[in-house]
Each structure stands twice: as structure tokens, then as C-alpha cells.
Amino acid sequence: MVTNGDILLVDEFLAPNFHYYGPSSLGPGPLDREGLKHLPVTCKHAFPDLHETIDDQLVDGDRVVHMTTSRGTFTGEMMGMSPTGKACEISGIDVFRVVEGQIVEFRVMFDSLGMVRQTGMTLG
């Protein structure tokens, strides 16, 4: 969803009672389905070449865990930060809880400090 920025998929894959828990640097949480829709757009604006790879996956009952690597170049404004044109590669972990084919809970943790260091992000 973040790689292609397609917010239309949100309603298809996320349950009506969905909750997203992300790093506190992304703002207060949890977000519901509507609140989550801005994140892919924001990410693709800031990192137009963003590409996420799933490095490993574990499925256990109603839980799916992805270990990911995201790569992109910071060329668009994001949350008040001016672009630097620098590339970054960051690791992350996504944990999904799935009920009846839809995601009801999505927890994300990624190396936000590594992203800041690699891209030279500063509040401007």
C-alpha cells in the first residue's frame, strides 16, 4: 500500500473497526481507516521512488509479521521538513491481525532515527 500509494485499497483490505499503531513520530494514534489514508500519500510525496521489500514473513494464527526494508530518496516535503535529495534504506517490522480476510490491527515500527540520519531531515 505504501509502495504504490494506492489509498483505494484501504477500504478493501481494512476492516471497519481497523486500528493502526505507528511510531509516535507520525503523530498521535491509533488511526482508524480514514486516518490511515493520508500516510501512503504523504510517503509517496516525500519519497516518490519509495520501494518496500518484504525480507521475511511469519504467519501464526490471526497474526502476520513482515520484516521489511524500505528504500527511497527524500525529494518532497514531509511533515514540515524540507527535502534533502538524500537516499535512505531503513528496516522495519509490520504486525497485522487479520479477521475474516480483513486487517483489524496494524502495528508498525521502523528505524525512524536511521531515516533522519541518512536523509539529513530537519524541521524547517
Residue by residue, pLDDT tens for the chain (124 residues) are 444 555 667 778 899 999 999 887 666 779 888 888 888 888 889 999 999 999 999 999 999 999 999 999 999 988 888 999 999 999 999 999 999 999 999 999 999 889 989 999 886 5
CATH number at residue 32: 3.10.450.50
- Report yes or no: 61 and 71 within 8 Å, Cβ to Cβ: no
CA angle 6, 8, 14 (to 5 degrees): 105
Q: Would you say residue 3 lies in a domain? A: no
Residue 70 placed within a domain: yes
Residues whose CB is less than 8 angstroms from the CB of residue 100 and which lie 6 or more positions away in sequence, other chains included: 15
* Residue 1 within a domain: no
Domain membership flag for residue 124: no
40 in a domain, yes or no?
yes
CA separation for the pair 4, 10 (Å, rounded): 12
Q: Is residue 32 part of a domain?
A: yes
Domain tally, the chain: 1
Cα R_g (the chain), whole angstroms:
14
Q: Say if pTM beats, i.e. exceeds, 0.85.
A: no
Res 123: pLDDT: 67
Domain span holding position 58: 9-119
